[in-house]
Amino acid sequence: MKKLALLYDLHGNLPACKAVWAEIRKEGIENIVIGGDLAWGPQPKEVTRWVMELASKPGVWVIRGNADREMAERHGVREGLSDWVAEVNLWCADRLSEEELRFLGNLPEKVALNVEDWGEVLFVHGSPRSDAEGIHADTPNSGIQEMVKGVTQRVLICGHTHVCLDRVVNGKRILNPGSVGLPLGTRGASWAILGPDVEWRETMVDPERTARDFLATGVPRAEEFAKHVLDMTR
């Protein structure tokens, strides 16, 4: 494949997903990797159904994030989640059908694909070692070497941190496209296109309308989700 859209960390934000999808269609990109943490957020059912529909199409790969695993297994405080993360997690799980929960829980942890000009690329959510482990700009090289031990691919795409990243460690290029649903450090939904090179994208979403939509869902901490959307554009 020549071009591949990278959508990570959707976090129950349907307006952002739809805005990014509109740009992907405009670009004529047919291949997409959705890199996990799909439903944890204000609109869990809407985003899960949207992803399930996309996943039925050829050229779309979806991998599982830690939040997808935790939701499918209905994790709470007893499983180590903080109070507020557990509260949102269980609220989201309650709004999904058993079919939708199985979809999240049965997603693969990683996918390897051949991309033109890049060779075989490994896609994970957190690190190859753990879906809950983030690779940051300041993660020591020695720590990353432990995370990627046994990985044969020279290119690794990851997410989980919600922050864009482009690092080379011991000959391995590590890319993080940021987050579609809860981006950090950008003014819009963050994603990327893997083609001859990497195209970093920010897609703007109507912040006031999205904030109102979030407040109407009844999700725990709705005000904080809405504030995040509004603060991104300031």
pLDDT tier, 2 (very low <50, low <70, confident <90, very high otherwise) = confident
Using CB atoms within 10 Å of the CB of residue 197, give its burial: 0 to 12 exposed, 13 to 18 middle, 19+ buried: exposed
pLDDT beyond 80 at 154 = yes
* Interval 27-61: pLDDT, tens: 999 999 999 999 999 999 999 999 999 999 999 99
pLDDT tier, 1 (very low <50, low <70, confident <90, very high otherwise) = confident
What is the bridge-based pairing of β-strands 172-176 and 155-157?
Answer: parallel
Question: Which residue intervals of the chain are DSSP H helices?
Answer: 14-27, 44-55, 66-72, 83-94, 98-105, 141-147, 207-217, 222-232
How many domains is the chain built from? 1
Beta bridge partners of 4: 194
The reply to whether 218 falls in a domain is yes
Element (H, E) at 60: strand 60-62
Phi, psi (deg, nearest 5) at residue 68: -65, -45
Neighbours of 79 (CB within 10 A): 11
The reply to whether 44 falls in a domain is yes
pLDDT beyond 80 at 76 = yes
The reply to whether 114 falls in a domain is no
CATH code of the domain covering residue 11 = 3.60.21.10
pLDDT beyond 90 at 146 = yes
* Interval 156-194: pLDDT, tens: 999 999 999 999 999 999 999 999 999 999 999 999 999
The reply to whether 146 falls in a domain is no
pLDDT for the residue 167: 97
The pLDDT of 17-33, averaged and rounded, is: 97
pLDDT beyond 90 at 232 = no
* Interval 105-144: pLDDT, tens: 999 999 999 999 999 999 999 999 999 999 999 999 999 9
Residue-averaged pLDDT of the chain: 97
Are 3 and 193 in contact by the 8 Å Cβ rule? The answer is yes
The reply to whether 161 falls in a domain is no
pLDDT for the residue 234: 63
Contacts of 45 (CB under 8 A, 6+ apart): 39, 95, 96, 100
The pLDDT of 88-104, averaged and rounded, is: 98
pTM, full prediction: 0.96
pLDDT for the residue 233: 66
The reply to whether 147 falls in a domain is no
pLDDT for the residue 136: 98
pLDDT for the residue 172: 97
Are 178 and 151 in contact by the 8 Å Cβ rule? The answer is no
pLDDT for the residue 122: 98
Contacts of 210 (CB under 8 A, 6+ apart): 13, 15, 16, 226, 229
The reply to whether 165 falls in a domain is no
Separation in Å, CA 80 to CA 6, 70, 106, 149, 192: 29, 10, 21, 26, 32
Structural domain that includes position 66 = 4-108+177-232
